[in-house]
């Protein structure tokens, strides 16, 4: 036992020494992982930097040619030539406001040679530039010297950062004034979004003018000379005269920069170094864990080898005993194998019989579904087909009497009915495959009028009086155009079928009521009403009390299914004064607004 314990201690001591010798391999792993992730982040930052610079330069370039072009407009030149003419000044203000609205500039204003603003696009606002003197601005001085002027600065009136483009306005050799276009740069910071990376733009003075980090804005990346400080005090480009130093711990950030020669700016992106350190640390931890796992695996393999050798010795001793047992069991296995083959043969025969029975069940289900769908299509298309036949007969008579407009109206009705038949067929196909359409907002009265039109000729022939109690304003419900008309037409047809068994007078009542939670449409007739058996089974397919061969018993079943798919339900009963009472409970909808797109969704 003591020798075994000493053997294990020696083995673990060797593994510990091997681990210490392999530990330096983690340093190159750390180096390569850091290099890989740094290059990956540098590539991503370069793409982001290029995109932001392209957006920034694209915004500025869109306005750089605008001042000299606007300086040629007669309205603006006239305002500078006659600075005391209020009508010309007002016209110039309106023209500048119109141009500003079309170009998207922040402010466009017109200055006389003395630096006084004569007209501006913001003339009607509280921070109007009209009457203000900006002769101290560098863009004014450069434009007065005949040079295209550019300048970044904080607006002394609006207190918003902007980039100014200025150009002189001349009438031949006579200097009329200066036209200035200010571009708002506040929105450029919003393009960056909420990310751990930080973006900043520094002007030629090294002062941060744009930054996604508010604490860095208007800080200087280098110490400003006295001359630069005097220049800042004279031009007032920043809200502070002496920008504080920008303190960025370079050990915490990875930075990339790009110079913009057009503006003299420098755009930089700073990424927290933890975005490199964290994955590198994970790689090193995984490497260390892999190293430990390899050492443990090596130890297990060594132990397993020793156990394997010991097991070989034991197996050699037991081999002889096993050979004897094998001979005894061989005979038993042969017998068991014969029995097993017989059981397998019996199981395969049973499996074949089961598959045959399943095929017969599936075929029977298909035939049942086909019969149900055929009956549904026949039931739903009988009403529009009868209406089409009536409209076609009327159209032929009208054409014989040369009543072309009336005949054209009948043809329009036939076209609408065929469209409705196509919609019904499509709906029944979707219903058969278990699909449904998303509900939409539908006006109840037009759908009811269309359904009444389908049964109008039959109702008039039967001398059925229609009593309506509906509000003048449209009632909007959550349904579907085709499905709602299908439900209403079925219920009206059922009511007429019930009244056909009764002597006149025959009446149908239509009453609508609305609550914040429900819209209830009541359809009542003075027919025989529902029997107890009918109320118990009316929603079941193919149940009918009609003596005519025309009834399939699908109408109420279809209506009930469609209403439940729309979130409503169908209530059947008898009115206290006699006759059947059917109530449709629907969800209220929004007036004239489709709540969901017209698309099929799986049920």
Residues 6+ apart with CB under 8 A from 572: 530, 535, 538, 539, 556, 580, 581, 582
DSSP at 212: S
| Dihedral sign of CA atoms 236, 239, 245, 250 in order | negative
- Count of Cβ atoms closer than 10 Å to residue 452 Cβ: 17
Encoded tokens for 298: 């090596």
Residue 549: the pLDDT is 46
Assess whether pLDDT exceeds 80 at residue 457.
no
Instruction: Return the CATH fold of 437-602.
Output: Heat Shock Protein 90 (3.30.565)
436 within 8 A of 430, measured Cβ to Cβ: yes
569-593: pLDDT as tens digits: 888 888 888 888 999 899 898 887 5
Widest Cα–Cα separation across the chain: 128
Domain with CATH 3.30.565.10 in the chain: 437-602
Report the range of poorest mean pLDDT among 267-276, 363-372, 482-491.
Answer: 363-372
Global pTM reads: 0.45
Q: Give the residue among 421, 324, 437, 325 at the shortest CA–CA distance from 377.
A: 421
Encoded tokens for 529: 């009403």
Encoded tokens for 242: 């002496």
Could you please report the per-residue DSSP string of 22-52?
A: HGGGHHHHHHHHHHHHHHHHHHHHHHHHHHH
Encoded tokens for 487: 């439900």
Length of the chain: 603
37 within 8 A of 279, measured Cβ to Cβ: yes
Determine the average pLDDT of the residues in 442-471.
85
Q: pLDDT band at 433, cuts 50/70/90?
A: very low
Report the range of poorest mean pLDDT among 8-12, 139-143, 365-369, 379-383.
Answer: 365-369
> Looking at per-residue confidence, does 600 or 555 come out higher?
555
CATH architecture, range 65-184 = 2-Layer Sandwich (3.30)
Residue 492 and residue 484: Cα distance in Å, rounded? 12
> Looking at per-residue confidence, does 431 or 49 come out higher?
49
Encoded tokens for 408: 């054209």
Q: Give the residue among 261, 598, 280, 207 at the shortest CA–CA distance from 439.
A: 598
Assess whether pLDDT exceeds 90 at residue 214.
no
Q: Give the residue among 600, 563, 598 at the shortest CA–CA distance from 433.
A: 600
- Residue 44, classified by CB atoms within 10 Å of its CB into exposed (0-12), middle (13-18) or buried (19+), is middle
Q: At what angle do helices 274-400 and 404-432 cross, to 10 degrees?
A: 140
Residues 6+ apart with CB under 8 A from 12: 299
Assess whether pLDDT exceeds 60 at residue 393.
yes
Assess whether pLDDT exceeds 90 at residue 374.
no
Domain with CATH 3.30.450.20 in the chain: 65-184
| Dihedral sign of CA atoms 588, 591, 593, 597 in order | positive
Mean of per-residue pLDDT scores for the chain: 80
- Determine the 3-state secondary structure of 454 from DSSP: helix
Assess whether pLDDT exceeds 70 at residue 438.
no
Residue 434: the pLDDT is 44
């Amino acid at each position: 036992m003591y020798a075994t314990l000493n053997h294990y201690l020696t083995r673990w001591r060797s593994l510990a020494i091997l681990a210490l010798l392999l530990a330096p391999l983690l340093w190159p792993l750390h180096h390569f992982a850091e290099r890989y992730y740094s290059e990956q982040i540098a590539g991503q930052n370069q793409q982001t930097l290029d995109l932001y610079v392209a957006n920034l330069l694209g915004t500025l370039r869109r306005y750089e040619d605008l001042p000299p072009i606007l300086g040629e407009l007669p309205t603006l030149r006239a305002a500078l030539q006659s600075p005391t003419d209020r009508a010309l000044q007002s016209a110039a203000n309106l023209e500048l406001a119109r141009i500003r609205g079309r170009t998207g500039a922040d402010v466009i204003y017109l200055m006389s040679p003395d630096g006084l603003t004569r007209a501006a696009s913001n003339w009607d606002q509280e921070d109007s530039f009209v009457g203000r003197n900006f002769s101290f601005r560098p863009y004014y001085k450069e434009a007065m010297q005949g040079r295209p002027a550019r300048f970044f600065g904080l607006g002394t009136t609006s207190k918003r950062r902007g980039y100014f483009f200025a150009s002189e306005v001349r009438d031949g050799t006579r200097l009329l004034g200066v036209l200035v276009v200010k571009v708002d740069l506040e929105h450029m910071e919003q393009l960056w979004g909420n990310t751990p990376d930080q973006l900043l733009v520094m002007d030629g003075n090294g002062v941060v003018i744009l930054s996604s980090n508010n604490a860095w804005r208007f800080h200087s990346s280098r110490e400003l000379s006295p001359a630069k400080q005097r220049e800042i005090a004279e031009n007032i480009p920043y809200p502070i005269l002496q920008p504080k130093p920008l303190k960025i711990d370079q050990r915490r950030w990875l930075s990339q920069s790009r110079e913009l020669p057009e503006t003299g700016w420098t755009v930089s992106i700073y990424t927290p170094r933890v975005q490199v350190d964290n994955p590198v640390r994970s790689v090193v931890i995984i490497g260390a864990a892999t190293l430990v796992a390899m050492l443990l695996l090596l130890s297990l393999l060594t132990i397993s080898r020793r156990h394997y050798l010991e097991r070989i010795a034991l197996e050699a001793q037991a081999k002889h005993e096993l050979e004897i047992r094998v001979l005894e069991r061989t005979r038993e296995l042969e017998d068991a194998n014969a029995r097993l083959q017989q059981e397998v043969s019996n199981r395969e025969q049973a499996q074949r019989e089961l598959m045959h029975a399943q095929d017969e069940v599936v075929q029977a289900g298909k035939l049942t579904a086909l019969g149900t769908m055929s009956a549904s299509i026949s039931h739903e298309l009988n009403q529009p087909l009868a209406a089409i036949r009536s409209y076609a007969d009327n159209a032929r008579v009208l054409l014989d009497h040369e009543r072309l407009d009336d005949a054209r109206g009948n043809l329009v009705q036939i076209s609408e009915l065929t469209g409705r038949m196509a919609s019904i067929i499509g709906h029944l196909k979707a219903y058969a495959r278990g699909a449904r359409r998303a509900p939409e907002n539908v006006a109840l009265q037009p759908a009811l009028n269309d359904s009444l039109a389908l049964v109008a000729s039959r109702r008039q022939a039967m001398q059925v009086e229609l009593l309506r109690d509906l509000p003048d304003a449209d009632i909007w419900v959550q349904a579907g155009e085709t499905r709602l008309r299908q439900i209403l037409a079925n219920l009206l047809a059922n009511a007429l079928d019930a009244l056909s068994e009764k002597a006149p007078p025959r009446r149908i009542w239509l009453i609508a009521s609305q609550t914040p939670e429900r819209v209830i449409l009541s359809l009542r007739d003075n027919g025989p009403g529902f029997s107890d058996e009918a109320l118990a089974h009316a929603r079941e397919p193919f149940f009918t009390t009609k003596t005519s061969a025309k009834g399939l018993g699908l109408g109420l079943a279809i209506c009930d299914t469609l209403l439940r798919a729309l979130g409503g339900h169908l209530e059947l009963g008898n009115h206290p004064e006699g006759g059947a009472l059917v109530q449709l409970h629907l969800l209220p909808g929004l007036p004239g607004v489709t709540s969901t797109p017209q698309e099929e969704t799986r049920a």
